[in-house]
Chain A
Amino acid sequence: MPDVQRVALTCDQCGQTDDHPKVHIGEVTKHHDCLNFQEDEMVRTSSPQAATIIDDCKGGLRGEKLLARIEKLHSSAKGK
């Protein structure tokens, strides 16, 4: 995969600007652990991978560690 520079984006919930993995729900952008209850339920039920990512983020994974987890999650899914 080419080395693409990450862009700092602002979370619409907590207001923090960083390049951590985020959720985009249309125009709204939030960290995976900043989703409100309805958003959390909607995103996690839309994809099993999304549910795992939300749980991992709520469990404390952030930034590079969360990104590595997301990439690993998808590479293992492709291997099945």
Chain B
Amino acid sequence: MAKATTYANDVLDQTYNGAASGTDVIGSTTYTLPYRLKFLSTLSTAGSAGTEWSTSGGYTAGGVSLSGAFGTAAASASKANTAAVSVTNAPAGTWADNEIHDSHGTPKRMVFKGTPSLAKTINAGDTCTIAIGALTGTEA
């Protein structure tokens, strides 16, 4: 069975939700907003999260809030960020992947970019930005 476009849009609006607070219930699981974007030095897979950057410089473990990052509702089974997401004064290391999770005390994993690795070498003090439109989700 395939998803109706309206249903696919609803799924995307739940997953790529830029609200500052509240909860989303997906199935039997409650997800706590705001959703957050982790920066990873290794790739995530469906079964396990990649290694998150350590808290250092301008990066705090748990990642960057996505509050306000999605200003437009999903359309045609696609949704993208309408605001850039940045980490300034990044710690030295590798930028390989990103993953969205909720902000519960025990964060729940949601979506990740995965392969291929971005494999960017980062020096301490660099600014790492995800451009407008680069954080995109689609539903088939």
Please give the residue numbers on chain A whose beta carbons come within 8 Å of chain B beta carbons, in ascending order.
1, 4, 6-7, 9, 19, 21-27, 29, 32, 39, 42-43, 45-47, 49-50, 53, 66-67, 70-71, 73-74
With A22-B126, A53-B88 as given contacts, are A29 and B120 in contact (CB-CB < 8 Å)? yes
Residues on A with C-beta less than 8 A from B57 are 1, 71, 74
Q: What are the residues of chain B within 8 A of A39 when measuring CB–CB?
A: 131
The interface residues of chain B lying within 8 Å CB-to-CB of A24 are 95, 120, 122, 126-129
Find out whether the CB atom of A4 lies under 8 angstroms from the CB atom of B92: yes
- 8 Å CB interface, B125-140 against A: 125-132, 134
Interface size class of B (residues with CB under 8 A): 20 to 34
Find A27's partner among B120, B121, B124 (CB 8 Å cutoff).
B120
- Across the interface, A22 reaches (CB within 8 A) one of B85, B118, B123, B131, namely B123
CA distance A75 to B88 in the complex (A): 12
B85 & A46 in contact (Cβ 8 Å cutoff): yes
Total contacts A-B at CB 8 Å: 86
Residues of B within 8 A of A23 (CB): 126-129
Report yes or no: B120 in contact with A21, Cβ–Cβ below 8 A.
no
* B58 CB–A CB distance under 8 Å: yes
Task: Please indicate which of the listed interface residues A27, A29, A43, A46 has the most CB atoms of chain B within 10 Å of its own CB.
Answer: A46
B130 closest partner in A (C-beta):
A26
A19 to chain B, nearest CB (A): 6
What separation, in Å, do the CA atoms of A7 and B94 have in the docked complex?
11
**In the complex, how many angstroms separate the beta carbon of A40 from the nearest chain B beta carbon?**
11
Cβ-defined contact, A21 with B127, below 8 A: yes
Complex formed: what's the CA distance from A26 to B131 in Å?
A: 7
A46 touches B125 (CB 8 A): no
Contact bitstring B72-90, A, C-beta under 8 A = 1, else 0:
0000000000011110110
